[in-house]
Amino acid sequence: MSFQVAIIHSHGSENPAKVIFKVTIALISHPDCALHEMGEHHPEAPTRLDAIQNQLIASGLDFVLLHHDAPRASRAQLNRVHDSDYVRQVFTRAPAEGRAWLDPDTCMNPHSLSAALHAAGAVVLGVDLVMSGQAGTAFCNVRPPGHHAERDRAMGFCIFNNIAVGAAHARAAHGLKRVAIVDFDVHHGNGTENIFREEANVMFCSTFQHPFYPNTGVATDSAHIVGVPLAAGANGDAFRAAVAAHWLPKLDAFAPELVLVSAGFDAHVEDDIADLCLVEKDFAWVTTEIKKIADRHAGGRIVSSLEGGYALSALGRSAAAHINALLG
């Protein structure tokens, strides 16, 4: 639901000013997402969620967000984008104790299956909230991330492809014909491309460092897959020029009914996992441009979900800049 908040500014006046605004953004998370952990020194750590939440509190943004607990995604929702045998394998391999490795970078502890189900379910809930008008936009502060998970395998810290599950739910449950996914993580969202490569009613626009893990994204030639590689060392000017030249015209022509965002903040200059040089204002800028597209074509409907970002201070500041831009 939306609600109004009144802030009273008296400044010693007998007639204090009252500012009224409407909350339009949902913040979706779940405690189990912080219980998934892959080892003491693994960069995809529970502290990532704390870094974002703490920055939202410190900046005052937390006060204007409507909090929701993420539900678990159902098997039927997962099976829309993942092979049923793969989903069954994840459930079967979930350990009762210790860890089970799904790929060299990705493992599960006893809480990981629940975390992954809630992470995918968060995007499903976000779609439902914006499609019903209960929220204008939503940000899913969840982990594990999702955009590397392909139709039939885990990869790169990702178990289920959260954003893809949300996109498929938007089409199946809400009858949408055109859904756009934008991805500004420093790594190419190979899983999202793998899932929607043959589905022209889902547009996938991404920027990513190249050459770099997972070394994909430059070979696809498709009207609805827009991959824009950036060289190591590229700064905000190069990023903005690439988005303006390659994403925005195609997104406008596609006229999406809903925009989903794979929000990775590991392209930040302080994040040593890669070599791009973005800063908070670049994430705010791209979010504002995405919001313009959504306002023109999708009734403002945007659902964003956390992907990468491992330098904790930079992650918190960047996510807050992104959410602030979503608020407009």
- Residues involved in catalysis: 148
How many residues can be counted in the chain? Answer: 328
Residue 240: Cβ-neighbour burial (10 angstroms; 0-12, 13-18, 19+): middle
| Cα-based distances in Å from 48 to 35, 57, 306, 307, 326 | 12, 15, 10, 10, 20
Distance between CA 52 and CA 198 in Å, rounded?
Answer: 35
Could you give the CA distance from residue 176 to residue 178 in angstroms, rounded to a whole number?
Answer: 6
Distances (CA, A) of 176 to 131, 225, 253, 313: 10, 18, 16, 37
Q: Is 218 helix (H, G, I), strand (E, B) or coil?
A: coil
Structure tokens given for 124: 């499903």
Residue 44: both structure tokens together: 């995809």
CA distance 15 to 28: 38
